Structure 1
């Protein structure tokens, strides 16, 4: 095992600081999004709440598909171009944003022309901002800075959504289009502010032929994977609304709202660690990659397992107390959620490691298997079991999604989520 040199320790310390910043933003966003759901479930009827949750889930799913995973592609290329002073970064940003903006504008226009639903029309107008803001914010992380992600994606957007949606609810307006408008508006300032931050740091260099080809040759497998991932994350709410009704979709959304805690905690750590993993694996520094992976996994378990155990224990009382009496039937969903998220966090950022090593095709195949499992179980179980069937379908897909990449990185690189460096992560004298 390679020694922990001062340079390596400095890198781990930077990852730890970035992880703390990412978790701070993720925690703020999780609380704001959770409170938004509480306000909606308590302030409007279950039918309206279910329609609102299904509509916003559909918008986020489409936006994530249209992003083509260009954000993570930019993180990869911007981080790798650091030794050359980011000479070609502006060309990569342009190559990423043009297709995303074009596709989202075309899709939004098509929705407006083909539907009469006012809520869907509102979200169609917002779709370009929703899609492009994620790409621009992701690009800023390639420069090694977590500040735009924390302040814009973690604080400004969810807190503004909480305030605006809360204002609609407190005004007594039981209207899905108004709720959708309030939810969508914050994406515009996030896009504008992130663009200003990025513009100030981009070198003014000419666009080189082949830049787009290089970017999308690396990113296209992840583009498919990101679209499938988006379907996996949110389509269950839409399927529940279609097969079991909006009221059941509202119960499912409320009971699974706590899953954002684990997802955002993992996202905060992944956002801080991914650029360092890319550099370590590109340089063939497997010991450092092992340190980063095991340290992040341990912190993810320590931060989230108490939440899942507490949620499983308190769910029968908590759902009714927080969301209202009509939501106590979601307790079985909460049990399934807690057990599944504990398994997922114990696997750590296995898929991030796999993609950072360049195995985007394997990651895509894993996601296809996960989505196929989840959708098959949803279609089989939701008609008879409602929200519990959706939870079991999601659990099956989540198990496949985490265990397959874990097997891949262990077979290819001998990486395990726990080991010697798990203890290193707990010793502040070793990482400062």
Structure 2
């Protein structure tokens, strides 16, 4: 468990730096630009991340699964999985980038109208060029975790990329260039993905010996990954759909307010992600070997640490929201009610633990996909009903309903199938010093 603790700590450090950088990026944009232009930028980058999340086909988690299950520590046959994983990602992301680049103005007109459209159009054209790089970088960073290490993810995805984005976006937003040249700000946001892609590829190349393609590899890889590819796409939509819906139904100004008010949810999401990234390979091995006692220990320990680390954040955010949101500008302090909904929802979600990670580790990728589809249906239904009349608050309530559905459905499933629950005999002991428990 000491190895798990070290990996979790590395993930948390990277998640903390990333969350802080993303928060400061929002501060820089909301203070440096008018609400309409800021909302257009947030909508464009959200669309880019959503599309990249779809186009990566969840190949990163597929690679983690096969690398973690490999019993050959030389990994001499692993390169064949990279071949079948990256080819479709590169082809689909390139084709999509061409479509977005050519029809970016049409997409802009379909989404929003008014002065903000002048900022959204150039942003979409710029981000289309970066789309294949962003998608492939995410896949390669994820694959490094299959080797049981967290350092590349923490350094590249948690520090280098968001840190460089903060420096570049903050510089551009403070100069006023973004208001006159709509492509500069999204370019500053997208450029750091390129060195991240290159460095991740170099790291993997040193650890994955090249080998011949083995017939049947594609079938083996996609039999596992295909259901999760759809689930991963749906998950990418679920994570970011709310901002786009607000922009479409209530306008870019409300999208900027909603983005600012919900920015703190990234803190919890990244802490959850940091722990999940460290836990996932161990859970895959435990479930593959049928070692339910170990899986239960890992799940309950991770849940307890998730609650301990995030609940103070949510309680503090709910209490201090009016002051904290003022950091973004005077008009953003109106999002205090949104912050309260966010805090309560995230506390409930973290108390469920990493239920989807457990479900996927057990091989139930189809069930995971259906759960997320159900959560999206709840979110969209509530958003359509509430956003036109309640704006950002309506979107927060829709998001809350979706998050609760996304966590409660797999919670019931893993309890029924494996008798796994987020709290139990291993919860409180997990808070003892790791070295003390390893010594016993």
Which string of whole-angstrom CA distances, capped at 9 and with x for unpartnered residues, describes residues 169-224 of structure 1?
12122434211010000000000000000011002221101111111110111111
Specify the SS of the correspondent of 1:284: coil
The match for 1:63 is 52
| Partner deviation per Cα, 1:2-47 (whole Å, 9 max, x = no partner) | xxxxxxxxxx111111000000000011101110101111111101
Matched, 1:124 2:128: yes
Q: Deviation per CA, 1:282-316, whole angstroms, max 9, x where unpaired?
A: 01111000010000000000000000000001112
SS at match of 1:431: helix
Residue-by-residue CA offset, 1:204-249 (whole Å, 9 max, x unaligned): 2211011111111101111111111111110110110111010100
Q: Distance in 2 between matches of 1:119 and 1:307?
A: 33
Match runs of 1:151-170 below 5 Å: 151-170=155-174
- In the other structure, the counterpart of 2:212 is 206
Are 2:354 and 1:349 aligned? yes
- In structure 2, the partner of 1:276 is 282
Counterpart mapping for 1:62-211 below 5 A = 62-83=51-72, 85-116=74-105, 117-175=121-179, 176-211=182-217
- 1:246 maps to 252
Shift of 1:84: 5.5
Distance across 1 between alignment mates of 2:403 and 2:438? 32
In structure 2, C-alpha distance between the alignment counterparts of 1:285 and 1:424, rounded to whole Å: 20
The count of corresponding residues between Structure 1 and Structure 2 is 420
Partner of 2:5: 16
Which of 208, 214, 238 pairs up with 1:232?
238
CA deviations on 1:259-283 (whole Å, 9 max, x unpaired) are: 0011000000000000000001101
Q: Any idea what the Cα deviations from partners look like across 1:149-173, whole Å, max 9, x if unmatched?
A: 0100000000000000011012122
Alpha-carbon separation, structure 2, partners of 1:307 and 1:279: 32
Shift of 1:119: 1.1
Residues 44-96 of structure 1: per-residue CA shift (max 9 Å, x gap): 11011100000000000000000110000000001111436323210101111
Residue 267 (structure 1) aligned to one of 261, 268, 273 = 273
Instruction: List gaps (5 residues or longer) in structure 1.
Output: 1-11
**Distance (Å, rounded) in 1 between the aligned partners of 2:178 and 2:93:** 29
Please state how far the C-alpha of 1:326 moved relative to its aligned partner: 1.1
**Closer, same or farther in 2 for the Cα pair 1:197/1:84, shift >3 Å?**
closer
Aligned alpha-carbon RMSD (Å): 0.9
What CA distance in whole angstroms lies between the structure 2 residues aligned with 1:400 and 1:125?
A: 35
**Residues in 1 aligned to 2:124 and 2:130: alpha-carbon distance in whole angstroms:** 10
2:363 pairs with 1:358: yes
Distance 2:2 2:62 in 1: 25
Distance in 1 (alpha carbons) for counterparts of 2:70 and 2:164: 34
User: What TM-score, normalized by structure 1, do the two folds share?
Assistant: 0.96
1:384 matched to 2:385: no
- 3-state SS of the aligned residue for 2:9? helix
State the alpha-carbon separation in 2 of the partners of residues 250 and 169 from structure 1. 15
TM score, norm. by length of structure 2: 0.94
Q: Taking structure 1 as reference, are residues 154 and 84 closer, same or farther at Cα in structure 2, changes over 3 Å only?
A: closer
Cα distance in structure 2, aligned partners of 1:245 and 1:186: 29
4+ residue runs over 4 A deviation: none
Q: Distance in 1 between matches of 2:284 and 2:404?
A: 25
Equivalent pair of 1:425/1:431 in contact (CA under 8 Å) = no
Spell out the pairing of 1:265-414 with structure 2 (5 A cutoff).
265-320=271-326, 322-414=327-419
